Amino acid sequence: MTIPHHDWIAHHAAYAPESLAQVDLHSGRRFTYRQMHERVQRLASFLRNQCGVRKGDRVATLCHNSTDGFEILFAAQRAGAIELPLNWRLAVPELEFILKDAEPVALIYSEEFAPQVEALRGRLSIPHLILKREGEPSDYEAAIDAGIDPFEPEAATLDDVWMLIYTSGTTGRPKGAQLTYGNHFFNDVNAAMKAELTVRSHCLVYLPLFHVGGICVYAIPLFHFGGTVTVMRQFDAARALALLADPASGITHAFGVPTNFLFMSQLPAFADARFDHLVTVGVGGAPSPLALLELCASKGMPLTQAWGMTETATLGTFLSKEMALAKIGSSGQPVLHAALRIVDGEGTDVGAGVVGELLIKGPTITPGYWRREEVNKVALADGWLRTGDAAYVDADGYYFIVDRWKDMFISGGENVYPAEVEDAIYRLEGVGECAVIGVADERWGQVGRAFVVVKPGAALDEAGVLGHCLANLARYKVPKSVRFVAELPHNATGKILKHELPRD
């Protein structure tokens, strides 16, 4: 059965035209659904009539977060295009690789990325380059002004691809995960049920809009419902904290990676902040230190741990607020529209409490990576996505993500999951941030090395960190060395880039 996909923005513009759709914190712009619909329609008309965008063509963006990002997503939909949001942290050769792989017909970019676009111009040919300046006069605003030609939006089905999102590529060449309207629709349903989204919900978005964290939790689900999305240009811990702690801001929902909450929690204003008025604050995308979850919960933050991936249009599991402390450390139970398995190296299902690789199947799972048929045969065999995550399920059916398989190391024949070691280190007073990796060792094969950022004003030394680990962890898990660093490398989403930490 081919199920049509409907135009949500057009629907809300007709049903509740004066409802607030989006707020752009950086430029101060605010758009009702009527205004958003008009801008989306004009941009789609421009893309179709003046750029010649046809069904299945790619339209790329290289921009900091703004409300324009969502206009472009919905305009691409109306023009039948696949939106390709580029990671603005990538170097020119990395961007070139992706652009050659995806072959977009148009690239919309913010002024601050003009040097990258200039460099790319000599390396590949993209028919339409559109400059934008967040509401200021630019090619982009001119395109919206010019998009007045009659235009019939492209009919879409749930099987059509809406977005192409390249995964970070830390394990090889980046791959474009295709996400369909159906993937998003079912993620919207899953998210709404678990995060209690309604037409009255208002989400603060600070994760980048080139990542599912910024797109799918909970912006796209809220556009489905006709709720409100406030967009922050880049994560600003002080501003995010102020908005989340202030009931008058109207914000009801947010989602972040652990680093977002870690940085907010280290601000002086956090000491007096309360978050009881919020409906749901999701945390996921990387292992969360338990001490951080406990601290946020003590401030009344309705924290919900979740696990998901780009390839799953975000949510695969969700831990309810009610169980947040009882099952602390768990990423929760499978969302309604997903099936999960945990298998050993031979692909055989393992029992409760046994660590294996997490597999997931369901309507939110990507139909495959763009132009990677051979990879897809392995990564999505029988429709089960191999996540690369080590996990176990407890006797009550709650899933625990232990770590990435590739981050696990073997010391003296024993598996060590760095996330568990980091969790212990975070409990030591004075630790601002930490990361543990396995490094080569003549005697044990591999041993742990901890990288620690000390909080301002605190004093820590190697013996103190190692002594704390020895008191709290089995000896084989205790790192053999500690390096104190000023900061850890993060990607634009805020996840720690462990492969950039020195192993020599």
Find the binder of ligand AMP among 69, 221, 287, 362 (CB under 6 A).
287
Binding segment (CB under 6 A) for ligand AMP, from list 93-101, 279-287, 342-350, 430-438? 279-287
Q: What is the 3-state composition of the chain as percent helix, strand, coil, each rounded to the nearest 5?
A: 35, 25, 40
Q: Which is nearer to ligand AMP, 12 or 495 (CB)?
A: 495
Query: Which residues share a beta bridge with 271?
Result: none
Amino acid at position 136, single letter: E
Residues 297-326 interacting with ligand AMP (rule: CB under 6 A) = 305-310
Q: Does 333 bind ligand AMP (CB under 6 A)?
A: no
Q: Does 401 bind ligand AMP (CB under 6 A)?
A: yes
Query: Which residues share a beta bridge with 165?
Result: 177
Q: Which is nearer to ligand AMP, 285 or 479 (CB)?
A: 285
Q: Which is nearer to ligand AMP, 140 or 417 (CB)?
A: 417
Tell me the closest approach of the beta carbon of residue 387 to ligand AMP, in angstroms.
5
Tell me the closest approach of the beta carbon of residue 435 to ligand AMP, in angstroms.
13
**How many residues at the interface with ligand AMP, by CB under 6 A?**
19
Q: Does 167 bind ligand AMP (CB under 6 A)?
A: yes
Find the binder of ligand AMP among 110, 138, 331, 366 (CB under 6 A).
331
Copy the structure tokens of residue 239: 């501003």
Strand segments (E) across 353-444: 356-361, 385-393, 399-404, 409-411, 414-416, 431-441
Buried b (16+ CB within 10 A) or exposed e, 293-315: bebbbebebbbbbbbbbbbbbbb
Tell me the closest approach of the beta carbon of residue 318 to ligand AMP, in angstroms.
10
Number of neighbours of residue 467 by Cβ within 10 angstroms:
13
Query: Which residues share a beta bridge with 449?
Result: 437, 481
Separation CA 310–CA 391 (nearest Å): 18
Tell me the closest approach of the beta carbon of residue 377 to ligand AMP, in angstroms.
20
Q: Which is nearer to ligand AMP, 22 or 183 (CB)?
A: 183
Residues 371-400 interacting with ligand AMP (rule: CB under 6 A) = 387-389
What string marks each residue from 184 to 223 as x (binds ligand AMP by CB under 6 A) or -?
A: ----------------------------x-----------
Query: Are 364 and 175 in contact, with CB atoms under 8 Å apart?
Result: no
Find the binder of ligand AMP among 128, 175, 404, 468 (CB under 6 A).
404
Separation CA 114–CA 418 (nearest Å): 39
Q: Which is nearer to ligand AMP, 5 or 184 (CB)?
A: 184
Short-list 480, 447, 445, 476, CA closest to 462: 480
Q: Does 286 bind ligand AMP (CB under 6 A)?
A: yes
* CA angle (335, 209, 255) in 5-degree steps: 45
Q: Which parts of this chain interact with ligand AMP (CB under 6 A)? A: 167-168, 212, 284-287, 305-310, 331, 387-389, 401, 404
